[in-house]
């Protein structure tokens, strides 16, 4: 045995120093006759001696043969790590056009694939020398993608969606894009004929509508399945298209709209049998994706992350934290059966691929897919003066049910209508709009009254033109619609003039529909005076609730709704919706 190395010598000296110091102290105590204190130091000297003996090198013995099993494990671990690194280094980033085998006329290849049955197994990258195929039907239905900024998450999502759209027609597959980093990731993909909705975080009201629409679509599919007694959408004769919801920067959605995240959790738990798939992308999967949602995501794709714990969350170890920033698109795919190293595919020209897909859609005559939701109400709606010969419903603007917009209409033959709201909100404009359209309908006689300096004047309206009013020459049509502006004083029970008495009588006459405008609900009795109301919120919650505006609508209204002229609530019986009156 040769001399011990310097490191071993220093270790032995460090262990001996405390023992030497305590031995000197014990000798001094014994010389001074302090036997008790010397006895207390003795155990410490003994412990230091034991520590020193443990640091001495052991004598040479017969060399122990290595454990074959342990050697195999070490070689396997090292070999797997080297193989994974080699796979990523030797897997160049391939364009998605090459993986889809686009020839000189890509649209012909796209049309050929659309004629085949639905297939969600598409290439998303390269594993060494062969493409990585990912099938949401077999391996999914939901996927979680994680990676730090610049790792290639958005590029992966774009290539994945292009591959899915190239393999399946818009009648069989649709997309909804939720982009919470400004809308840049999916802006070009909005032109795909498969896209039925796209929102970004720059318009949170629009994003809220998308989440409401997704929940409504889930309920609709549940009802369709229940109607035909199908446990899975694949058992239906004419199933609705598969719907893939793609979310970029899921953590931003959770931070900005925390009350709506549970709607996505419901999709994750029920989407498999209803044909709704979820692909959520985030920078940090830890704490941002709930346990209930993560439990239903069987596919995890992890690109480069900064924290080994984030890699462990998706892959079971920290390998994704060791990926080099010089290899963008390098990732690992965990499908709950195995972990595969691959390089994400990139799109050489997204616009060109989208044009080819759109041309293929026109070639096969695919009908446009209806949007799942619409944008919120605009601030202004122009009046369309169109001859409406059917008096049943008169158009006056746009109505919003929280998901989609439709024409706002009221019936001028079904009773009185109260227009309630403060000055300057648009009551007079609304009455003029309704009167103009009513004068163009068959079977209606339109009378318009308004006060000027406390003097009331009335006119008949025919085809949008006014003629003087006289009670003796009332027109013969069976139904009269009387529009009365600023009618507050006419509800005074102490008024006995001709105008007030005529107004009170008309309110109770079934052959006359009175459309009146007042500033407050206080003098009005519901439903004696009116059952249909158009309420312009005044901003005072108690007054708006008294006028009949539901609390849920008041909670949904933003400051834009409160300040925008023409924004009102249409109340018919027990139903209520937000409207923007035309101007």
Stretch 385-410: mean pLDDT, rounded? 82
Tens digit of pLDDT for each residue in 414-458? Answer: 899 999 999 989 999 999 999 999 988 888 889 999 998 778 888
Stretch 144-170: mean pLDDT, rounded? 94
- Edge-to-edge strand ranges of the sheet holding 242-248: 130-135, 121-127, 339-344, 330-334, 299-302, 143-146, 276-282, 242-248, 173-179, 195-200
Instruction: Check pLDDT > 70 for residue 65.
Output: no
pLDDT, position 52: 63
Instruction: Check pLDDT > 60 for residue 474.
Output: no
CATH topology for 87-364?
Answer: Rossmann fold (3.40.50)
SS3 572: strand
Most confident range (mean pLDDT) of 66-70, 357-361, 422-426, 452-456 is: 357-361
Stretch 283-296: mean pLDDT, rounded? 82
Confidence category of residue 9, pLDDT binned at 50, 70, 90? low
Does the predicted model carry a pTM greater than 0.85? no
Supply 13's token pair. Answer: 């000296």
Annotated binding residue at 439? no
Confidence category of residue 74, pLDDT binned at 50, 70, 90? very low
pLDDT, position 82: 44
Instruction: Check pLDDT > 80 for residue 353.
Output: yes
Stretch 86-105: mean pLDDT, rounded? 76
Instruction: Check pLDDT > 80 for residue 352.
Output: yes
Q: What is the DSSP string of 515-545?
A: EEEES-STT--TTTT-SEEEE---S-HHHHH
**330-344, 470-484, 505-519: which has the minimum mean pLDDT?**
470-484
Stretch 533-552: mean pLDDT, rounded? 91
pLDDT, position 313: 87
**138-142, 460-464, 561-565, 573-577: which has the minimum mean pLDDT?**
460-464
Between CA 40 and CA 245 the distance in angstroms is 75
Annotated binding residue at 219? no
Annotated binding residue at 148? yes
Are the folds of 87-364 and 394-581 the same?
yes
Annotated binding residue at 152? yes
**16-20, 81-85, 166-170, 474-478: which has the minimum mean pLDDT?**
81-85
Annotated binding residue at 574? no
Maximum distance among all Cα pairs of the chain, rounded to whole angstroms: 139
- Find out if CATH 3.40.50.300 is the number for domain 394-581: yes
Instruction: Check pLDDT > 50 for residue 3.
Output: no
- Best CA proximity match to 210, nearest among 219, 201, 197: 197
What is the C-alpha R_g of the chain? 38
Instruction: Check pLDDT > 50 for residue 76.
Output: no
How do the domains of the chain map onto residue ranges?
6-55, 87-364, 394-581
Contacts of 400 (CB under 8 A, 6+ apart): 376, 377, 577, 578, 579, 580
Annotated binding residue at 150? yes
Tens digit of pLDDT for each residue in 168-190? Answer: 999 999 999 999 887 778 999 99
Annotated binding residue at 153? yes
pLDDT, position 87: 52
Instruction: Check pLDDT > 80 for residue 80.
Output: no
Confidence category of residue 472, pLDDT binned at 50, 70, 90? low
What share of the chain has pLDDT > 90, as a percent? Answer: 48
Residues composing the chain: 583
Between CA 560 and CA 567 the distance in angstroms is 9
Query: Is 348 in contact with 175 (CB distance < 8 Å)?
Result: no
Instruction: Check pLDDT > 50 for residue 1.
Output: no
The overall average pLDDT reported for the chain is 84
Annotated binding residue at 140? no
Instruction: Check pLDDT > 60 for residue 287.
Output: yes
pLDDT, position 180: 87
């Amino acid at each position: 045995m040769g001399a011990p190395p310097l490191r071993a010598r220093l270790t032995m000296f460090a262990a001996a120093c405390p023992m030497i110091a305590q031995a000197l102290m014990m000798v001094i105590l014994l010389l001074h006759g302090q036997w008790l204190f010397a006895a207390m130091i003795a155990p410490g000297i003994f412990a230091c001696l034991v520590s020193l003996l443990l640091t001495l090198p052991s004598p040479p013995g017969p060399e122990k043969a290595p454990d074959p099993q342990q050697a195999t494990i070490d070689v396997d671990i090292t070999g797997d790590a080297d193989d994974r690194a080699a796979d990523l280094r030797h897997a160049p980033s391939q364009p998605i056009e090459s993986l889809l085998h686009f020839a000189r006329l890509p649209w012909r290849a796209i049309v050929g694939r659309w004629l085949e049955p639905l297939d969600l197994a598409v290439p998303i990258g390269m594993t060494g020398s062969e493409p990585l195929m990912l099938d949401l039907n077999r391996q999914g239905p939901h996927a979680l993608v994680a990676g730090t900024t610049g790792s290639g998450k958005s590029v992966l999502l774009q290539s994945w969606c292009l591959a899915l759209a190239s393999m399946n027609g818009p009648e069989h597959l649709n997309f909804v894009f939720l982009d919470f980093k400004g809308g840049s990731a999916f802006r070009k993909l909005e032109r795909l004929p498969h896209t039925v909705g796209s929102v970004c975080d720059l318009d949170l009201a629009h994003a809220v509508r998308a989440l409401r629409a997704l929940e409504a679509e889930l309920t609709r599919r549940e009802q369709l399945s229940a109607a035909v007694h199908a446990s899975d959408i694949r058992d239906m004769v004419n199933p609705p298209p598969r719907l893939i919801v793609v979310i970029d920067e899921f953590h931003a959605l959770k931070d900005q709209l925390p009350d709506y995240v549970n709607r996505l959790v419901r999709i994750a738990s029920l989407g498999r049998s209803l044909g709704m798939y979820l692909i959520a992308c985030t920078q940090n999967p830890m704490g941002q994706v709930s346990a209930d949602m993560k439990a239903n995501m069987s596919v995890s794709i992890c690109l480069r992350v900064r924290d080994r714990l984030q890699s462990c969350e998706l892959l079971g170890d920290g390998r994704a934290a060791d990926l080099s920033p010089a290899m963008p698109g390098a990732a690992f795919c965990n499908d709950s059966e195995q972990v595969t190293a691959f390089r994400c595919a990139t799109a050489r020209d997204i616009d060109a691929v989208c044009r080819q897909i759109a041309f293929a859609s026109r070639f096969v005559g695919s009908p446009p897919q209806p949007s799942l939701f619409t944008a919120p109400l605009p601030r202004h709606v122009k009046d369309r003066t169109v001859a409406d010969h059917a008096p049943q419903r008169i158009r006056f603007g746009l109505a919003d049910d929280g998901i989609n917009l439709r024409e706002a209409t009221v019936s001028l033959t079904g009773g009185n209508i109260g227009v309630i709201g403060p000055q300057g909100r648009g009551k007079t404009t609304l009455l003029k709009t309704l009167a103009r359209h009513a004068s163009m309908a068959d079977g209606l006689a339109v009378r318009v009254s308004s006060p000027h300096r406390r003097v009331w004047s009335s006119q008949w309206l025919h085809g949008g033109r006014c003629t003087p009013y006289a009670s003796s020459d009332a027109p013969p049509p069976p139904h009269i619609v009387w529009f009365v502006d600023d009618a507050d004083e006419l509800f005074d029970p102490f008024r006995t003039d001709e105008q007030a008495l005529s107004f009170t009588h008309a309110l109770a006459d079934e052959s006359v529909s009175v459309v009146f405008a007042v500033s407050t609900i206080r003098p009005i009795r519901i439903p004696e005076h009116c059952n249909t109301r158009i309420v312009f919120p005044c901003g005072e919650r108690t007054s708006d609730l008294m006028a009949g505006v539901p609390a849920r609508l008041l909670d949904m209204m933003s400051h834009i709704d409160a300040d925008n002229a023409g924004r009102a609530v249409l109340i018919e019986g027990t139903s209520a919706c937000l409207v923007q009156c035309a101007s």
